[in-house]
Amino acid sequence: MLKPYHDAVIRLQSIFDSAVDGIIIINTRGIIEEVNPATQKLFGYNEDEMIGNNVNMLMPHQFAVKHDEYIDNYLSSRNAKIIGIGREVTGRKKDGSEFPFWLAVSEVKLADRSIFTGFVHDLSEIKHAETRLMTLNEELEKKVIERTYELENAVNQLLSLNKQLEDEISNKIRIQKQLKEREADLELGLAKERELGELKSRFVSMASHEFRTPLSTILSSVSLIARYTEGEQQPNRDKHIDKIKASVVHLTGILNDFLSMNKLEEGKVDTHFETVDVIDIWNNVIDEMYTILKADQKLINTINIERAWIISDKKILKNIIINLISNAIKYSGEKGEIRCTLDYQDNIFTISIKDNGMGIPKEDQKHLFQRFFRASNAINIEGTGLGLNIVKKYVEMLNGNITFESEHLVGTEFKVRLPTKSGNTTY
């Protein structure tokens, strides 16, 4: 049992040491207990200069003097301003220079005490890019105004000429139209750049938030496993090993979502249409889903067809079904009921996944398929907000459509309709 534990410690230490973001561990008095190499590089201190000192050494004076008071207030009131939330703050390097970074702090409760783990992501490049983008935008607006003024003068001059200059006037008008089209293209390009910047910012925020909880679980479980040294404590060791495994599975799911989104955005997902057995795919997924049901949950499988062949992409179709059923399981409580139904009518296959879980608030439903969107009643449930966005795009790649009906605290039903052949989109 020591070797797996030893390997796990090495892996966690390797992750800690090789992380590109800074990681700082402090105690409840604000004293630094451990930092990774990225933190040392970011702030300009070596490890010996930081460990044993108060973490406020890394803050501008106006924030440093209040930091200990903030920790005391949190420990007494549990009212968090950063812990478990995260926000943009300012750091102070050894040379006195200041820089912006995103700070995500989590409290880790050990057997005899609590520690705080801070994840530091440098925002200097992002801020520089934002400033540069604003400057370019201002310059572009100035040029547009200047060019528009020039064009107006040209048009006024052309209007004052007689009919002999009509050909020249027409030519000028054509040039003006082309310039406006180019200006529109530039505006569109800037809009896409702004959207990309926002997407990257939301990605960093989501990733730091979603990775924090499983990493903290792994760290605390490894620490607790080390305390169980007796043979009769094997059940306790197994329990924490299961937590580590579950956290790793969760991290893998997050990475898969991000990778799938990236491939879809870049158009790198290829479809391979072939004749596949829908019932065979359906039953294989159902068998997998039984293994992740919560306590006393029921999965009711209904197939209203005897044999079904469809021209589709097997891998994408399977991912759609897995995502919808696993969502139903995740957002339903223990003893919940998940009804999975496969129908066929008028050359259309209908996949229905219905649960009696928490449902989706009415005001959130219009945003359900947007990237990174999480319903207001699902904030405390692990997830990236990418799953349904990916499912919708996968369904469209199969020439199908997806709809849903939901009532808050009553349940949700998703329906995916797929044609029997690629290209047949009549419903």
Question: Of 114-118, 220-224, 235-239, 337-341, which one has max mean pLDDT?
Answer: 337-341
For residue 192, is pLDDT > 90? no
Least confident window among 4-18, 206-220, 368-382: 206-220
Tens digit of each residue's pLDDT (9 = 90 or more) over 328-371 = 998 998 889 999 999 998 889 999 999 999 999 999 999 988 88
> What percent of the chain lies above the pLDDT cut of 70?
75
| Lowest model confidence (mean pLDDT) among 99-108, 111-120, 255-264, 369-378 | 255-264
Q: Is the pLDDT at 426 greater than 50, yes or no?
A: no
Q: Which residue has the higher pLDDT, 18 or 270?
A: 18
pLDDT, position 417: 96
From CA 111, how far away is CA 374, in angstroms rounded? 33
Evaluate whether 126 touches 197 at the Cβ level (below 8 Å).
yes
The yes-or-no verdict on residue 402 having pLDDT over 70 is: yes
- pLDDT at residue 423 tops 50: no
**Across residues 72-80, what is the average pLDDT?**
75
| Residue-wise DSSP of 141-161 | HHHHHHHHHHHHHHHHHHHTS
| CA pair distance 155, 176, nearest whole angstrom | 9
pLDDT of residue 68: 73
Q: Residue 211: pLDDT above 60?
A: no
pLDDT digits (tens, 9 = 90+) for 151-183: 777 667 766 666 776 767 777 788 888 878 877
39, pLDDT greater than 90? yes
397 vs 246: which has the higher pLDDT: 397
Nearest to 204 by CA among 34, 86, 116, 368: 86
Of 40-44, 66-70, 88-92, give the lowest mean pLDDT range: 66-70
Mean confidence (pLDDT) of the chain? 80
- Per-residue pLDDT, 425: 42
296-312 pLDDT per residue, tens: 999 999 999 876 788 99
The rounded distance, in Å, linking the Cα atoms of 308 and 303 is 10
Percent of all residues in the chain with a pLDDT value above 90, rounded to a whole number? 30
Helices (H), 56-165: 61-77, 124-159
Over range 229-239, report the average pLDDT: 68
Residue 226 or residue 279, greater confidence: 279
- Per-residue confidence at 244, pLDDT binned at 50, 70, 90? low
pLDDT (0 to 100) of residue 212: 52
Do 375 and 334 meet the contact criterion of CB atoms below 8 Å apart? Answer: no
Given a contact cutoff of 8 angstroms between Cβ atoms, the answer to whether 321 and 387 are in contact is: no
pLDDT at position 205 is 52
Q: How many residues are recorded in the chain? A: 427
pLDDT exceeds 60 at position 197: no
Q: Kindly tell me if the per-residue pLDDT of 427 is higher than 80.
A: no
Distance CA 97, CA 42 (A): 11
pLDDT at 387: 82
pLDDT tens digits, one per residue of 51-61: 999 998 999 98
pLDDT band at 424 (very low <50, low <70, confident <90, very high): very low
